Each structure stands twice: as structure tokens, then as C-alpha cells.
Structure 1
Amino acid sequence: MTFTEQLFQRVEPIWESYLGHPFIKGLSDGTLDEEKFKHWLKQDYVYLIEYARLFSIGAAKSTDLNMMMTFADLANGTLHTEMDLHRGYAKQFYISEEELEQTEPAQTTVAYTSYMLNKAQQGGIENVIAAVLTCTWSYNYIGLKLAEAERHTHHALYDEWIQMYASEEFTEFKDMCIELMDSVTEGKSEEELKRLEDIVVKTSYYEYMFWDMAENIETWTTPIK
């Protein structure tokens, strides 16, 4: 069994809980309040900027040219494929690119991205991959689950979201991350693997917090007036 196969057994119950979250259920059946989706859209846009930064750290810490090229491809996919999707969605919700760029990250967004960047900076290339793995893999997990489910969504834009993350292109994007994780963990001790597993588990909890943040349209607990 590969490291990521063992890892999936640990995080699957957490990811399964996403499917029962009101935000994800609303995406699935088309009943999600558009203001909640717009909040997620803007927060995820600023999140992706930091996510691309993680892939850039990965390129800098890569141990060979092929790995460096892979991280460059992943950064490119984030900066173009995913962020282009967000910009396209924004237009359909009458959110300008200027508004996206001026979005202030919510406390959950700051906590999540800061944790990933901290872990990526602390260790070697394996830390970078562990830090980015949950987001890509769990979004593909959600997309595929919702695409397979019998649902009666009446919201074309939410269905487009589902198809994006269930797409062959995004699945390949996720597979690249899984292959990298398995490659760099070959020969690692149980102690090292446990440390990497802990990063993936914690980012999985942060993902749930991110869905909560979107559902509740949260910014900061004590807003400055």
C-alpha cells in the first residue's frame, strides 16, 4: 500500500463530512444562497494566490529538474485554470476583477494559508507537497462525489463548479500531487511519515473550517469599525 493510500484511509472520514456540510449540499442541489457562494468565491480567490506561492516554494525546493517542472505546471494550473474559473464566475455574479483583487482575507483564510506556508518553509520538498495535497485532492473528491450523485440542481453555475472539479483535467492535476507525495516519501521512516500525515490531517480540518466560513459569510470574529 502506498503512503497516499494509507493517508486516504485517515482523511476519508473528514472529507466525507464535507458532503454533509450545508454549503456543499447547497451546491449539489442548487439551493445555496448566492451571497454565500460569492463570499466563498472571493475568499478562495485570495487563497489561491497563496496556494500558487506554495507551488513556487516547491519549485525552489525541488530536488531535480523533472520535479521542478511539475511544480511549475501546478503553479501554472492554479494561476490560470483555477483563477480563470474564479474570474469567469465573478463576472457572472457581477463581481469585478478589481473587487476580487481588493478582497481582504477572512480569519480562517489567513489561518489556513499561514499554516500551509509555515509548514512548507519549515521542511523539505515533502512538507510542501503535504501542505498542498488536501486542497487539490479533497476538491476533486467532492467534485466526483457530487457529479456521481443523483441531484436536481436548478443552478447552472453551481453545476459548472461541480463539473470543473470532477473534470479529467482537474483529476490529472490531483494525480500529479499524489504521485509527487508517493515519490518523495519512499524510504521515509514511520516518524517522518507520521509528521507528514499530521499536516494533511490538519489541512483537512482547515478545509472544513473554510466551508464553515463561506456558509456563515465570516470575516473576523471582532470586526474593526
Structure 2
Amino acid sequence: MKFSEELVAAGQPILHEIYQHPFVEGIGNGDLPKEALTFYVGQDYNYLNAFIKVYADAIQKSQTRADMAIFAKQIDFILNSEIHPHHNFCNVAGVEYETLQHEPQAPGTYLYNEHMYRAARTGDLIDVVAAMTPCPWTYLEIANRFVKQGKNTDDNVFKPWIDFYADMEDDSDSILPQLFALIDREAEHYDQHHLDVVKEEFLKSCELEWEFWDQAYHQRSWHFVKPMKQYR
């Protein structure tokens, strides 16, 4: 079994919980509260900003231009393409996307971003990629599941979101196979102890994906320390 297949197998129980989360189910059913949608977009804008920076760190850790190109393309994808699912949520919620681009990080977003930053600060390329891969992996799995269930119908207001992420699999330049191939290639250079650390990094990101949906659904921000925009 390839190491990437071990990661996917280990992540299945968490993926199953993500499928059953009410936010995710709401996408499939076409029904989510406005407050959950706007909270999600504000936090995901934060998260993707961090994602771009960690991809830049992956470029610094890359030894070949081929690897650099993988991450450079993903930076471009986030900056110029991944705004479309955000627009879908904003349109359904009836808010302007620009109004949600300056929200302070909620606790779950902060934790997830710091988890990725730590992998970039202290790890090798395999650690960085393992911490980042659960995001595209779980989103593709969610979207494909909805397509198989026939949820991407014209009467579902979240059809653009579902189609956007499901279409990533049909892209000849799809990122997920490239990330898994990179993980498998790099795994050959490490002992079992390091690979166990990598697996833990991957699984933590899987759980943080669940947490991200959960904090948005419940609009869970700081309880005792509330960052104020005027102090930032």
C-alpha cells in the first residue's frame, strides 16, 4: 500500500463525520442559515490567505521547478478561481463578498492556520504537503458524493459550489493526484517514526476540516477575548 493510501484509509472515519455534519448536509439539501454561510466565507477567506502563504513556503522547500510549478499553480487557483464558491455562498446569503474579507480569525481558523504554519516552520516538504492535502481531498470527496447522490440539481442553490469542486477531479491538471504522488515520492526518504508524524499531521488537518464546518455552523467565535477590528 502506498503511503498516501494509508493516509486516506486513516482519514476515512473523520471524512464520514464530515459527510454527516449539518453544514455539509445543508449544502447537499440546498438549505443553510445566512449566518452560517457568511461566517464560513469570512473565515475561509482568512484560511485561504494562510493557505497561499504555506504554498509559498512549500515552494521554498522544493528542489525542482516541477514541484515549484505545482504550488505556483495552486496559488493562482486560490487567487483567481476559488472565489467562485465564495460568491455562491454570498449570493445565497444576499451579502457582498467584499464585506466579509476583513473578519478576525475565529478560534478554529486560528488553530488550523497555526497547524499549517508550524508544518512549514519545522517540517520538510512532506510535512507541509500532508498538512495541506486534507482540504482539497475532503472537498473533492464531499462534492463527488453529492454528485453521485444527484444533489447537484438546478433547484439546489448550492449547485455551483458542488460543481466547482466536483469538476476538479476532471481537470487534467488536478491538484490532488499531484499532492499524493509527491507524498509517496518523499515518503521513501523517511523512517517509520517520521512517517507516523506525517500521518498525525494529515489527520489533525482532517479533524480541523470538521472543526471548520462546525465553527461556521454555530458561528463560534472567541468567548472571552473578542478581537476588535479597530485594534487590528
Distance between the aligned counterparts of 2:171 and 2:94, measured in 1? 27
TM-score by length of 1: 0.91
Root-mean-square deviation (CA), in Å? 2.2
Pair 1:105-2:105 in alignment: yes
1:119 aligns with 2:126: no
Map Cα deviations across residues 141-200 of structure 1 (whole Å, 9 max, x no partner): 111111111448785431211111111239812222212212221232111111100000
Is 2:149 aligned against 1:149? yes
Q: Which residue of 2 aligns with 1:82?
A: 82
SS at match of 2:144: helix
Q: Say whether residues 1:198 and 2:200 are aligned partners.
A: yes
Q: Which residues of 2 match residues 61-76 of structure 1 at below 5 A?
A: 61-76=61-76
In structure 2, do the counterparts of structure 1 residues 159 and 194 end up closer, same or farther at CA, with 3 Å as the change threshold? same
Q: SS of 1:157's equivalent?
A: coil
Q: Secondary structure at the match of 2:157?
A: helix
1:187 alignment counterpart: 189
SS in structure 1 of the partner of residue 220 of structure 2: coil
Task: Choose 10-19 or 159-168, whichever is displaced more.
Answer: 159-168
- The verdict on how the C-alpha distance between 1:153 and 1:220 changes in structure 2, with shifts beyond 3 A counting, is farther
Give 2:48's aligned residue.
48
Query: Is the CA contact 2:85–2:160 (under 8 Å) kept in the aligned structure 1?
Result: no
- Which stretch has the larger CA shift, 167-176 or 24-33? 167-176
Structure 2 CA distance for aligned equivalents of residues 104 and 95 of structure 1: 18
Structure 2 CA distance for partners of 1:30 and 1:153, relative to 1, 3 Å: farther
2:18 and 2:125 mapped to 1: Cα distance? 28
- Give yes or no for contact 1:58–1:125 (8 Å, CA) kept in 2: yes
Q: Tell me by how many angstroms 1:123 deviates.
A: 1.3
* Aligned partners of 1:165 and 1:171 also within 8 Å: no
Structure 1 vs Structure 2: percent identity of aligned residues?
Answer: 25
The amino acid that maps onto 2:106 is A
Q: Find the counterpart in structure 1 of residue 139 from structure 2.
A: 139
Which residue in 2 is equivalent to 1:209? Answer: 211
Distance 1:155 1:35 in 2: 21
Q: Distance in 1 between matches of 2:173 and 2:28?
A: 19
The alignment covers a number of residue pairs equal to: 225
CA distance in 2: counterparts of 1:170 and 1:211, whole angstroms: 29
Q: Which runs of 5+ in 1 are unaligned?
A: none
Superposition deviation, residue 222 in structure 1: 2.4
